[in-house]
Amino acid sequence: MTARERRSVDVVVVGAGLAGLTAARRLQERGRSVLVLEARDRVGGRTLNHDLGDGQVVESGGQFVGPTQDRVLALATELGVDTFRAHDDGDTVYVHGKAVRRFSGDIPPAWTTLPDLGLLMARLDRAVRRIDLDAPWRSPDAHRLDAMTTASWARSLSLGGGAVEVLEILLGSAYGTTAAETSALFTLWYVAGAGDETHRGTLDRMIGVDGGAQESRFVGGSHRLSALLAADLGDAVVLDAPVRRIEQDASGARVSTDHLDVDAQHVVVAVPPHLVAGIDLEPALPAPQAELFRRMTFGTLMKCEACTTSRSGVRTGCPDRGCSVATRSRCARCSTTPRRPAPR
């Protein structure tokens, strides 16, 4: 039977995604001893590079960055990671059933829904301006908005069904679910958050390329940020260490994994709520918060990459972006072409 290891630090950070690794870095900068515990065999959370060989990588997870995402851009500068303009050449293709149409710009139009779509976006952005970002439940009409789905809210505007279908694509690729499964209040708050301290979010800022969240990518892939953070932290990052229990009292805290117990003065939990619900906490969270964590659902996205050694797609006019509206599925297409070999 393997003996349990015992360690002691000032702060334990649970989770080695960007949030956890950045928190650990800031704590070390302030002279605190830190230990980061990560359940998986890698760092990076929802960012992951796919190695194509010869120094070329594409992102298997999150990849884009844009204006108003000030903190991650500042972190990239701090780590010496440059950005480059996302590939956005040529037209976009829009597929609706058997119909195919090419267009320019960010918004995929159907033949008969473009005026309705423009009205939908205008009304959505007008509603977004009324949302309290810090406390959305205090926003005007919050209870009614939270009691209806995004789809029913959009249909209440008496717009064409095609506009709602396009909204499904725009929002579905953002948080991985349908407009029928999210509340209108959540969607408005989500869009409002696509900004910074001085710029309120808009739908165009959230989905756009020029001046939007898809404007740039990181040289060497988004996962490079986490890899560099982890390299600087060194032995302070422990992989394959799922946290099973956190105990806290007046003297401090103890964090337990399958083979390790860590005594600390403080614990930073930097994992999604549904994973927090799987940790045995003593004392337990307040009942409403624990119930929320257990019942909170998350979107699901699948990302597939088609790789080629030639630029035949460019020669034949294959567009860099596209979207499809079908009876049972929605999908969006974008270019993940590397800019140049990743730095060694």
38 is in an annotated binding site: yes
Q: What is the pLDDT confidence band of residue 327, given thresholds at 50, 70 and 90?
A: very low
Structural Rg of the chain based on CA atoms? 22
Contact partners, residue 289, CB within 8 Å, separation at least 6: none
Residue owning tokens 């209108």: 184
The verdict on whether residue 14 carries a ligand-binding annotation is no
Dihedral sign for Cα 114, 321, 128, 162, please: positive
Average pLDDT over the chain, rounded to an integer: 85
In the chain, what are the domain boundaries?
5-63+222-295, 89-208
Query: Which residue bears the tokens 């993940």?
Result: 336
- Which whole number is the average pLDDT over 167-194? 85
Residue 9 marked in a binding site: no
Asked whether residue 326 carries a pLDDT value surpassing 60, the answer given is no
Identify the bridge partners of residue 50 per DSSP, sorted by sequence position.
58
| 37 vs 56: CA distance, rounded Å | 29
Cβ burial of 33 (10 Å; 0-12, 13-18, 19+) is: middle
Span 206-229, average pLDDT: 91
Rounded Cα gap, residues 272 and 144, in angstroms: 27
- Per-residue confidence band for 91, with pLDDT thresholds at 50, 70 and 90: low
| CATH assignment, 5-63+222-295 | 3.50.50.60
Task: State the pLDDT confidence band at 333, using cuts at 50, 70 and 90.
Answer: low
Can you give the pTM of this predicted structure? 0.85
Architecture of the domain spanning 89-208: Alpha-Beta Complex (3.90)
Most confident of 82-91, 290-299, 317-326: 290-299
pLDDT band, residue 320 (cuts 50/70/90): low
